[in-house]
Amino acid sequence: MSKTIDVMKEKRKVPERVRNNIKAFNKLKKKILKSLEPGQKTIPEIAEEIEADIDVITYNLMTLIKYGFIEAGELDDDDEYYYYKLKNKK
């Protein structure tokens, strides 16, 4: 007898577009988290380091904050950008 989850997987295939979006998010997530390993950084610093657009980094940082991977710290000297750091790093 099949488990319910196996039956559901057979009935509901995940579209290729969705799979590609998840792969792209996970790839960017790894780059952002690796960028923050040495210490806190602002959005422009992260974007420059991993060569991505600031708006893409901003969106993904907010997602990572929502799910508890990172947290916002203090404002930079110009009071323009927050520093972001890994949740368990001080």
- Digit-coded pLDDT (tens) for 19-60: 999 999 999 999 999 999 999 999 999 999 999 999 999 999
Q: Quick one: pLDDT at residue 52?
A: 94
Q: Which residue has the higher pLDDT, 81 or 6?
A: 81
Main-chain dihedrals φ then ψ at residue 70, nearest 5 degrees: -135, 170
Its pTM stands at: 0.79
Residue 41 has a pLDDT of 95
Share of the chain above pLDDT 70, in %: 96
Coil, helix or strand at residue 20: helix
How many CB atoms are closer than 10 A to CB 88?
A: 9
CATH number at residue 13: 1.10.10.10
Range of the domain at 45: 4-86
DSSP state letters, the chain: ---HHHHHHHHSPPPHHHHHHHHHHHHHHHHHHHHHSSS-B-HHHHHHHHT--HHHHHHHHHHHHHTTSEEEEEE-TTSS-EEEEETT--
Total count of domains within the chain = 1
